[in-house]
Chains A and B, each alone.
Chain A
């Protein structure tokens, strides 16, 4: 059990995408020598149907960010717990429901170089889903839709349609992916590190177009990144993942301006400030210890400077974090009491 798992209670608010106590364990090795890696532990989250929100997820590499995205997209099944889309469990959807789910939940991936087939023109990426979902009744209508979507994203159709992927820059390619997601008229877009492969100067345009989707088309966004600054810029709510557990969650302003968990504090302190007068502390950041996750109960913040004994977590730390959380959040402690009753 993670030290900070909890349930959000939202009264009668309807969930668009919801994860309930999700756990994911990857097994490898042979029958005799099984290796288990705990990628995500007891994670619950709730994305409301309306109004649209931007939920950010931040954490270091190996913290389970991409596993979370793959779970929410239904690419992999959770080992325990459920992922629900509008009340329906992803793994138990009918063929038709699944097809709808695939249209309403769109994904944008990290690498704008790998998602394209180099032998096809970029049009292929845009016309295939339109044809597949019968979104247009004729070719000219499909063409018109594509041009409109490209225009919203700020791309000129003459510059993109009819070109091969290698003729476009990384930023342009990633924006074509945003346009493709928009074409499907989705309810939510899951973006897994959409700007990490793109130059800093071009990041702004991609982030702007993602925000535009929320503001003008009522599309929610689930934004995953290891870069706290872009996540802060774009998100309404933020979730900090560390070693497969949520360590801090809440309104982005509160989490960033008043971080409670030592790991969040470390993340924020590690951002290189573009100001030579504001230096990093010269003390080296505490070393990461190798974890054997199988036997590790309690809080996993081995880098935590409050860390003394893995099984003992100072209760008031959690209490303080929880005080910051959005209304309705209850601590695991409370939940355990409830389940004991």
Chain B
């Protein structure tokens, strides 16, 4: 039995708009095990990036974390003060932000940007040690030491992305959250970056939470998947089982929708549009687009419950988890 490093309980993040609260994350609960690669998938607007930011406590107004617990090694991140959470970021939990290649400072050398985070957390460290540290980090993500003296515009997208990875691992965090780390890259570079992350994960044993919408990438990279829809988790399970026989109808559609090189002329989209989170449908939020909709789907909200050992789903097809 693996230990759980990150536990999220009943997390709710609302964005307060003039039209009322928008429930971007609405009661999400999941566990991240030590040394595990966990994937969080969903369409745009399903709340997966908000969830990633909430774990880092980076939600800005009008967004607010309304309720829940985020336990990192038993310590509730939501109860920490501003200074305390600053200390936790990067040392225990690091974020590779979405479009990370644009998050580098264009007028700072790569070396200085990498050092920045280290200096913030470790006061007493010599210049020589710092330099060695930077070279070692760049090496770990497969970059030349020369990169240290360069500016971001001198690097390609994939290299910038790897610099962001190097910064994320600079203080050996226990958890890395990667929010669509390769969405702006083409397939060849995407593969290089993902394999870099993979090798790094294998060697250091860090836990990775990969956020994205590409089911293909998830199949290649993660151990377990959580599927998000309209701010809720609708299915959680191991990647093999989910791809073999998914429980929730939405997961099935999501797996089938990327076009492949095998069958030509089949375009499978997901019918209908994602729901408006300001006015979500009653009952199961997916019921207007679901092919297996039943009568009480529009009445009762399905709970995420364990259908088979290790497999969780929130769907009335599998009962509603007797309490």
Segment 220-238 of A: residues with Cβ below 8 Å from B: 226-230, 232-233
Contact across chains for A200 and B220 when beta carbons are under 8 A apart: no
Contact across chains for B258 and A274 when beta carbons are under 8 A apart: yes
Contact across chains for A274 and B269 when beta carbons are under 8 A apart: no
A256 to B262 Cα, complex, angstroms: 10
The contact sample of 19 A-B pairs, CB cut-off 8 A, is: A60-B187, A199-B43, A200-B215, A201-B270, A203-B257, A207-B267, A226-B187, A233-B264, A271-B261, A274-B219, A274-B243, A275-B219, A276-B220, A279-B220, A280-B220, A284-B195, A285-B192, A287-B192, A288-B156
Cβ-closest chain A residue relative to B267: A204
Say yes or no for A292: interface residue by CB 8 A criterion.
no
A285 to B194 Cα, complex, angstroms: 11
Most buried by B among A60, A232, A267: A60
Q: Which of B191, B213, B260 contacts A200 (CB 8 A)?
A: B213
Say yes or no for B129: interface residue by CB 8 A criterion.
no
Determine how close the nearest CB of chain A comes to the CB of B302; give it in whole angstroms. Answer: 21
A113 to B220 Cα, complex, angstroms: 31
Most buried by B among A200, A205, A227, A279: A200
Determine how close the nearest CB of chain A comes to the CB of B200; give it in whole angstroms. Answer: 12
Say yes or no for A76: interface residue by CB 8 A criterion.
no
A43 to B219 Cα, complex, angstroms: 37
Determine how close the nearest CB of chain A comes to the CB of B190; give it in whole angstroms. Answer: 7
Contact across chains for A276 and B219 when beta carbons are under 8 A apart: yes
Say yes or no for B102: interface residue by CB 8 A criterion.
no
Say yes or no for B59: interface residue by CB 8 A criterion.
no
Q: Which of A170, A266, A273, A287 contacts B220 (CB 8 A)?
A: A273
Q: A169-B273, A201-B257, A229-B259 are known contacts. Are A276 and B191 too (CB-CB below 8 A)? A: no
B44: chain A residues within 8 A (beta carbon): 170, 199
Say yes or no for A202: interface residue by CB 8 A criterion.
yes
A interface residues with partner B (beta carbon < 8 Å): 60-62, 169-170, 199-205, 207-208, 226-230, 232-233, 253, 256, 266-268, 270-280, 282, 284-285, 287-288
Segment 185-199 of B: residues with Cβ below 8 Å from A: 185-192, 194-196, 198-199
A207 to B265 Cα, complex, angstroms: 10
Q: A61-B157, A199-B43 are known contacts. Are A227 and B269 too (CB-CB below 8 A)? A: no
Q: A199-B213, A233-B265, A274-B258 are known contacts. Are A285 and B240 too (CB-CB below 8 A)? A: no
Contact across chains for B261 and A268 when beta carbons are under 8 A apart: yes
A208: chain B residues within 8 A (beta carbon): 267, 269
Determine how close the nearest CB of chain A comes to the CB of B240; give it in whole angstroms. Answer: 5
- Interface range on chain B: under 10, 10 to 19, 20 to 34, or 35 or more? 35 or more
A267 to B187 Cα, complex, angstroms: 7
A202 to B265 Cα, complex, angstroms: 16
Q: A256-B261, A276-B243 are known contacts. Are A285 and B157 too (CB-CB below 8 A)? A: no
Cβ-closest chain B residue relative to A229: B259
A129 to B85 Cα, complex, angstroms: 55
A205: chain B residues within 8 A (beta carbon): 267, 269
Say yes or no for B71: interface residue by CB 8 A criterion.
no
Q: A204-B269, A233-B265 are known contacts. Are A285 and B215 too (CB-CB below 8 A)? A: no
A226 to B255 Cα, complex, angstroms: 21
Give per-residue flags for B26-57: 1 if the beta carbon is below 8 A from chain A beta carbons, else 0: 00000000000000000110000000000000
Give per-residue flags for B193-231: 1 if the beta carbon is below 8 A from chain A beta carbons, else 0: 011101100000000000001111111110000000000
Contact across chains for A229 and B258 when beta carbons are under 8 A apart: yes
Q: Which of B142, B214, B261 contacts A284 (CB 8 A)?
A: B142
Cβ-closest chain B residue relative to A203: B269
Contact across chains for A270 and B190 when beta carbons are under 8 A apart: yes
| Other contacts beyond A169-B273, A199-B43: 8, CB < 8 A | A201-B270, A205-B267, A226-B186, A226-B187, A232-B261, A233-B266, A272-B217, A274-B243
Determine how close the nearest CB of chain B comes to the CB of A244; give it in whole angstroms. Answer: 15
Determine how close the nearest CB of chain B comes to the CB of A10; give it in whole angstroms. Answer: 25
Say yes or no for B293: interface residue by CB 8 A criterion.
no
Segment 267-287 of B: residues with Cβ below 8 Å from A: 267-270, 273-274
Contact across chains for B260 and A274 when beta carbons are under 8 A apart: yes
Segment 130-165 of B: residues with Cβ below 8 Å from A: 142, 156-158
